Amino acid sequence: KNVVLRKETGIPGPRGWPVIGNLPLLNSESIVHLTLMNLAQKFGPLYQLKLGMLKVLVISTPDLAKEILKNQDASFAGRPFTLVGELVFYQRQDIIFSQCDDHWRLMRKLSSKLMSSKAVQKQQVSRHDTMMTAVNSLLECQQNQLIDLREELFDIIFYHMSKLLLGKRLTGGMSAARSSECNGRKNLSQLIRAVASLPFLVLGECFPFLRWLDVGGAEATFVKVHREFDSFLSDAIDALRREATSDTPEDQGFMQTLLSIQHTEEGKNMTDLQIKVLINDFLIGGIETTAGSIFFVMAELMRNPDVKEKLVKELDEVVGRERVVEESDLINLKYLKMVIKETFRLHPSLPLLLPHESTVPTTVGGYKIPKNMQVFINVYAIQRSPELWESPNSFKPERFANNPIDMKGQDFCLLPFGAGRRQCPGMGIGALMVEITLATLLQMFEFSLPAGMKPEDMDMTEKAGVASSLVSPILVSVTPRLSPKLCSVQT
């Protein structure tokens, strides 16, 4: 009875209120992907919501995801207008929020160069040292001292990625990633986290004529966040230019590489602004997603001690206890890859990907889709569908044994990085960092829940926001498994 077929498109969807439409279904506390998954039970795998003046198409099956992301990729590769894109991502001149125009193509090309397997390979020694620095910092923890897993992993990845993006010179040590001594970086890390926990919907997007009211102060927050990011990035460029030294290629970050090709044919006379735009995207797009993915793997391992045990056994068998795991070992850590895949299935970092938008009028599943319609691909619903997965809510890495399903965008039932032309350009480096960080931490340390706490007591309640996270922290203690002597930092 509640299903209405919208007169103009014939697409099913819940009955809405005058003016506000279906907005009451998505309040600020809603876990949007869960709400949308439940609505799909009632309205089917393709339905429409009206959120104020916005029309949104919600897709919840692999076939329809394939139609949008592969068969009609070009027609759905647009990005809708969002205030965060406008105010935090340089008026949408970046990769994440711009349309697929020539400028976007140039930036994607530059990203591919920066993150090519050859470039990533070159950074291996530096990455190993970064990892060892993080391990040494954890070795300083007292026995039975509880650490906040989320915070710790964020610091490690923040340190790792800042070094990759800004270079060794501007990054400082691991302690700089945490300490308040270093205000610039402290602010940067807070800003990155602030963006990840931004509300899913902003009223000014649903009702553009009410934008001036800035209900909830979202716009003011975006402007402040952006101002601080921009001044940090400008200072970073100035510092790299001012102190142009003989940094080795391994110590150079993406920013320095971009500055060095700025006025060449390859750099197409890129402006400083364009360099800031790219680094801004990578900082905001790469850190929280990578750290969050590792966090969820660790959380599932703490909840499933038998899986953790099996994984540690694999590390001991493949690598042993006499040396630290290296990137060349990863190919042989088959169970680790299964555990990661299973975590990506249950806890995709961006459960609805980023919003896509139709760039032309078209037809999907027999329904006419107008131009400029926003599209949410509910990857969370697809990856937990009982029609596709046995015991879909259980953590069972074994389901991927002898199973060719990959997560690189070829199988539309597992899409943690999206697919098609808008697929994550950081997929290779993101997946590598998830694997090597987990392998190193699990080889070096035994992680335990606080005394008396059982795995089933862990609170896995999800928190509202664009990126997946949990309401409660997960506290653990760490005990070294291998000799600390193995973890020297070389540079």
Name the minimum Å distance from CB 441 to ligand HEM. 16
**Residue among 59, 240, 353, 436 that touches ligand HEM (CB under 6 A):** 353
C-beta closer to ligand HEM: residue 46 or 96: 96
Name the minimum Å distance from CB 429 to ligand HEM. 5
C-beta closer to ligand HEM: residue 205 or 435: 435
C-beta closer to ligand HEM: residue 52 or 416: 416
Name the minimum Å distance from CB 354 to ligand HEM. 4
- At 387, list the tokens: 């029609």
Neighbours of 54 (CB within 10 A): 21
C-beta closer to ligand HEM: residue 253 or 416: 416
C-beta closer to ligand HEM: residue 16 or 416: 416
Angstrom CA distances, 391 to 90, 308, 458, stand at 44, 20, 20
Binding segment (CB under 6 A) for ligand HEM, from list 130-138, 311-319, 427-435, 468-476: 427-435
C-beta closer to ligand HEM: residue 23 or 275: 275
- Report 432-471 residues binding ligand HEM (CB under 6 A): 434
Cα 131 from Cα 153, distance rounded (Å): 11
Residue number, nearest CB to ligand HEM: 426
Name the minimum Å distance from CB 347 to ligand HEM. 10
C-beta closer to ligand HEM: residue 139 or 405: 405
- Give the per-residue SS3 of the chain: CCEEECCCCCCEEECCECCCECHHHCCCCCCHHHHHHHHHHHHCCEEEEEECCEEEEEECCHHHHHHHHHHCCHHHCECCCCHHHHHHCCCCCCCCCCCCCHHHHHHHHHHHHHCCHHHHHHCHHHHHHHHHHHHHHHHCCCCCCCEEHHHHHHHHHHHHHHHHHHCHHHHCCHHHHHCCCCHHHHHHHHHHHHHHCCCCCCHHHHCHHHHHHCHHHHHHHHHHHHHHHHHHHHHHHHHHHHCCCCCCHHHCCHHHHHHHHCCCCCCCCCCHHHHHHHHHHHHHHHHHHHHHHHHHHHHHHHHCHHHHHHHHHHHHHHCCCCCCCCHHHHHHCHHHHHHHHHHHHHCCCCCCCCCEECCCCEEECCEEECCCCEEEECHHHHHCCCCCCCCCCCCCHHHHCCCCCCCCCCCCCCCCCCCHHHCCCCHHHHHHHHHHHHHHHHHHEEEECCCCCCHHHCCCCECCCCCCCECCCCEEEEEECCCHHHHCCCC
C-beta closer to ligand HEM: residue 45 or 418: 418
**Residue among 31, 49, 429, 476 that touches ligand HEM (CB under 6 A):** 429
Q: On the CB side of 54, how many CA atoms lie within 13 Å of its CA?
A: 23
Name the minimum Å distance from CB 27 to ligand HEM. 24
Per-residue x/- track, 95-124, ligand HEM (CB under 6 A): xx----------------------------
- Report 252-311 residues binding ligand HEM (CB under 6 A): 281-282, 285-286, 289-290, 293
Binding segment (CB under 6 A) for ligand HEM, from list 6-14, 166-174, 268-276, 345-353: 345-353
- Whether the CA torsion 213, 285, 490, 312 is positive or negative: it is positive
Work out whether 85 is an interface residue with ligand HEM (CB under 6 A): no
C-beta closer to ligand HEM: residue 80 or 285: 285
Name the minimum Å distance from CB 20 to ligand HEM. 27
C-beta closer to ligand HEM: residue 21 or 418: 418
C-beta closer to ligand HEM: residue 259 or 284: 284
C-beta closer to ligand HEM: residue 319 or 434: 434
**Residue among 255, 340, 354, 381 that touches ligand HEM (CB under 6 A):** 354
Name the minimum Å distance from CB 39 to ligand HEM. 21
Cα 308 from Cα 300, distance rounded (Å): 9
- Report 396-425 residues binding ligand HEM (CB under 6 A): 416-418, 422-425
How many residues of this chain bind ligand HEM (CB under 6 A)? 24
Q: What are phi and psi of 416, to 5 degrees?
A: -65, -20
Name the minimum Å distance from CB 410 to ligand HEM. 14
**Residue among 56, 426, 437, 482 that touches ligand HEM (CB under 6 A):** 426
Binding positions for ligand HEM, rule: CB under 6 A: 95-96, 281-282, 285-286, 289-290, 293, 349-350, 353-354, 416-418, 422-426, 429-430, 434
